Structure 1
């Protein structure tokens, strides 16, 4: 049987990483550390939801099409979250509130990796699935430019190659240390969000620049996307011509058309994906589905 090549891409938030505490709790803690009072985390959550929805409607994709920077986009959400909660004739927001929250949510201070992410990515390189000759790993996310720094702070080796960057400066050379993540595609840079197929096509374009793709054609690569949202991730990937895997902790709650592979798996995920999207409950299950082995074990 001929060897195959694998392009494996992941969503970021909710798939590779998650907040250490609920976002509203972290927002409230930072605000209270600056002396702001008179609101509960529940009130912060409700106000944040309204502010986020409004800003996403007025300036979608972090304000890219309207010339906004992601930092300014988030500053508006932070301000609109807390202004309704801070009352009184002298009520005003602390000037450090937005900078501190932006910094917090750019690093490990706000996030944790999901269990098993790091060992899976490392074992994928050292003990690749049977029959796979070349592997490229990427991130495709509806996000701004903070994703690489967050993942790096959490211990992943992240290549500087991102969509829209200066290729001559950011393209890794064949002799560089192996990365856990070979490239990152963020919706702000592409100008389109999942489930738009153009964000997946951007990842295909970056694949062609990698040393691993030298001498290969695009058709020689199996493309697999792993995410935690059915509409944006699974449907979006499928419509772009990719295979898709739904990371879902509740096997009994899978969307129609997604098969669970946690209990019985062939260890050849590419073969299983020929029949459509599949669901896995953890990175340990994803490793088993791929046939990736490890002597140390992978957290479930």
Structure 2
């Protein structure tokens, strides 16, 4: 892949720039314990995964178009995750726990910036490349990025909830081009980096963008659809690749 015409680079958030500092099931158990509720995090994990699948099918994009709304979407996730717990919990306490968790996931304590990401962002920023974020997520992402001290690297943040469309739909990538405010920017001058082959890589390439995928391990996804040179297993490898091609990354004047 040549970068002679790249003018915009965007990143996915969860699983790419940011990862959970504690597994969500353990975080749910920790917060519940603050209210005197003790639940097995393994049971919470099973409940969470089951209801997550149900909610994304019945109320996609965090309830953006179903009328549920993202806050109530997450309340439903929390309520049903704990409803399956062997310990009986009254609805009032469940709502309190849900509200606590909704706020908690804005905080730095729930997240860790992926190793090597800051070095790469600093390098690209120094090169003068315009950076952005495109993520299938709710609007809390803005605060999350600020609290994790990475928001200043990005000119814009496009969340699926606010855009009203999710990756891999081409329109969310079009929204990013608009948000960049780069004059006469074309899709082939854009690069997207994420951890999902169907959502990030396939989504971006179908929108006419270039794409690279940052995989968490070497067997996590079906990699048949992507070029061997377009997949990486760490930000360090990705950074080296871009540095080796650094002279061809176009600097925005």
Normalising by structure 2, report the TM-score: 0.87
Q: Does 1:255 find its partner at 2:207?
A: no
Residue aligning to 2:160 = 187
Among 176, 197, 208, which residue is 2:170 paired with?
Answer: 197
Find the aligned partners of 1:59 and 1:249 in 2 and give their Cα distance: 27
Q: Could you say what the CA RMSD is over the residues aligned between the two structures, in angstroms?
A: 2.3
Find the aligned partners of 2:243 and 2:200 in 1 and give their Cα distance: 23
Decide whether the 8 Å contact of 2:195 with 2:216 is kept in 1: no
Give a deviation string over 1:250-289, Cα, whole Å, max 9, x none.
347660143344xxxxxxxxxxxxxxxx011111111111
Q: Does 1:281 find its partner at 2:241?
A: no
Residue aligned with 1:151, SS:
helix
Query: Cα distance, 1:67 vs. partner?
Result: 2.4
Find the aligned partners of 1:58 and 1:249 in 2 and give their Cα distance: 28
Query: Cα distance, 1:92 vs. partner?
Result: 4.3
Residue aligning to 1:18 = 19
Q: Does 1:236 find its partner at 2:195?
A: no
Residue aligning to 2:76 = 76
Among 196, 200, 213, which residue is 1:246 paired with?
Answer: 213
Decide whether the 8 Å contact of 2:173 with 2:207 is kept in 1: yes
Residue aligned with 1:226, SS:
strand
Residue aligned with 2:7, SS:
strand
Relative contact order (alpha carbons < 8 A, sep ≥ 6): 1 or 2 greater?
2
Alignment of 1:1-300 (within 5 A): 4-37=5-38, 39-88=39-88, 91-92=90-91, 94=93, 95-126=95-126, 128=127, 135-156=129-150, 158=151, 179-207=152-180, 209=181, 213=182, 216-219=183-186, 222-251=189-218, 255-261=223-229, 278-291=230-243
Query: Cα distance, 1:122 vs. partner?
Result: 1.2
Residue aligned with 2:186, SS:
helix
Find the aligned partners of 1:19 and 1:220 in 2 and give their Cα distance: 31
- What stretches of structure 2 of length at least 5 have no aligned partner? 246-253
Query: Cα distance, 1:30 vs. partner?
Result: 0.7
Decide whether the 8 Å contact of 1:123 with 1:292 is kept in 2: no
- Which of the two has greater helix per residue? 2
Decide whether the 8 Å contact of 1:36 with 1:86 is kept in 2: no
Q: Give the aligned length.
A: 242
- What stretches of structure 1 of length at least 5 have no aligned partner? 129-133, 159-178, 262-277, 294-300
Residue aligning to 2:250 = none
Residue aligning to 1:296 = none
User: Once superposed, which parts of structure 1, at least 4 consecutive aligned residues long, lie more than 3 Å away?
Assistant: 90-93, 249-254
Query: Cα distance, 1:221 vs. partner?
Result: 6.4
Normalising by structure 1, report the TM-score: 0.74
Query: Cα distance, 1:40 vs. partner?
Result: 0.9
